[in-house]
């Protein structure tokens, strides 16, 4: 039995520099990049394809990620590909229900949690409205009856890394909110990080480095707004019309928070 995980060895997926397709993609587009030999395939919803490999695996692929993999022994692996969005979670939950697997998936304060697992051992757990939940990590694998296969030690290590990053992002955004309340919206300056200036966003690894150091600058703020879909005219207007109102501050902080989380492949 082979339980391969996308991005194995790297706790944090990243999508800062990626562009997720917003339009409808063909089956060929979605399957582009699949390296295993495909036996059969069919579209199942917008940008979603179900396919079977010659090795006996069944996979539900959303955009460029096999979000659910059912192996020949019926064990199941979940993977967000770094896109922990409402739609990705919905694809997973719908597929689990189709399979008759009584596993729940919930988002709470920036982190995903899984309910109904057995044998989670010392893995981080949390009581949510559904009961005791085990922390979600990409590549989490379990049997149809909910028996956890992914090792406890791996769950703990990866989950702790995510929790620490979320704490850093929360602290950094709180500082940004205070700075915005006390003064102006930081503008991109010649003294900002050289890489941020030349590469606009600096790439996910570079954004991660700034976050972990507790650093933020005008170029990162502009990159966050661009990542969220703001046009150059919208960004320019925001700077020119900045008044420091609460609604403006909330909007900027929210976009920066989402941008930073995306750099680590965390729930937006």
SS3 for the chain is: CCCCCCCCCCCCCCCCCCCCCCCCCCHHHHHCCCCCCEEEEEECCCCEEEEEECCCCEEEEECCEEEEEECCCCCEEECCCCCCCHHHHHHHHHHHHHHCCCCEEEEECCEEEEECCECCCCCCEEEECCEEEEECCCCCEECCCCEECCCHHHHHHHHHHHHHHHHHHHHHHHHHHHHHHHCCCCCCCCCCCHHHHHHCCCHHHHHHHHHHCCCCCHHHHHHHHHHCCCCHHHHHHHHHCCCCCHHHHHHHHHHHHHHHHHHCCCCC
What was the pLDDT predicted at 126? 58
Answer whether residue 200 shows pLDDT above 80. no
Q: How confident is the model at residue 116 (pLDDT cuts 50, 70, 90)?
A: confident
Q: Return the pLDDT at 162.
A: 78
Rounded to the nearest integer, the mean pLDDT of the chain is 83
- pLDDT tens per residue across span 136-185: 888 889 999 988 887 566 666 777 787 788 889 999 999 999 999 988 89
pLDDT in tens, 67-93: 999 999 999 999 988 788 889 999 999
Q: Where are the domains of the chain?
A: 27-151, 160-263
Reported pTM: 0.63
Choose between 133 and 40: higher pLDDT. Answer: 40
The whole-angstrom separation of Cα 195 and Cα 160 is 29
The pLDDT value recorded for residue 254 is: 93
Of 126, 69, 134, nearest to 96 (Cα)? 69
Summarised one tens digit per residue, pLDDT across range 159-172 is: 778 778 888 999 99
Which residues, other chains included, contact 209 with Cβ-Cβ below 8 Å and sequence gap of 6+? Answer: none
- State pLDDT tens for residues 10-23: 445 444 444 444 56
pLDDT given at position 11: 44
């Amino acid at each position: 039995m082979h339980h391969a995980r996308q991005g194995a060895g790297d706790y944090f997926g990243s999508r800062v520099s990626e562009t997720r397709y917003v339009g409808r993609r063909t089956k060929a587009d979605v399957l582009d990049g699949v390296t295993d030999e495909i036996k059969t395939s069919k579209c199942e919803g917008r940008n979603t394809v179900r396919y079977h490999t010659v090795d006996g695996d069944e996979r539900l692929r959303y955009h460029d990620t096999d979000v659910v993999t059912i192996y020949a022994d019926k064990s199941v692996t979940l993977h967000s590909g770094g896109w922990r969005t409402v739609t990705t979670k919905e694809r997973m939950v719908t597929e689990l229900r189709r399979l008759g697997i009584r596993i729940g998936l919930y988002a709470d304060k920036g982190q995903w949690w899984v309910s109904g697992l057995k044998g989670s051992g010392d893995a981080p757990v949390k009581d949510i409205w559904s009961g005791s939940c085990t922390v979600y990590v990409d590549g989490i694998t379990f049997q149809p009856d909910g028996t956890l296969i992914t090792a406890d030690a791996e769950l703990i290590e990866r989950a702790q890394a995510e929790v620490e990053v979320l704490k850093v992002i929360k602290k950094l955004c709180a500082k940004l909110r205070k700075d915005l309340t006390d003064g102006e919206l930081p503008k991109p300056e010649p003294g900002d990080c050289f890489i941020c200036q030349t590469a606009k966003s600096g790439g996910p690894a570079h954004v991660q480095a700034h976050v972990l150091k507790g650093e933020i600058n005008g170029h990162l703020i502009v990159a966050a707004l661009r990542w969220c879909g703001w046009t150059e005219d919208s960004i320019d207007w925001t700077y020119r019309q900045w008044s420091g109102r609460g609604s403006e501050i909330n909007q900027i902080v929210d976009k920066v928070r989402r941008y930073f989380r995306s750099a680590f492949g965390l729930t937006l």
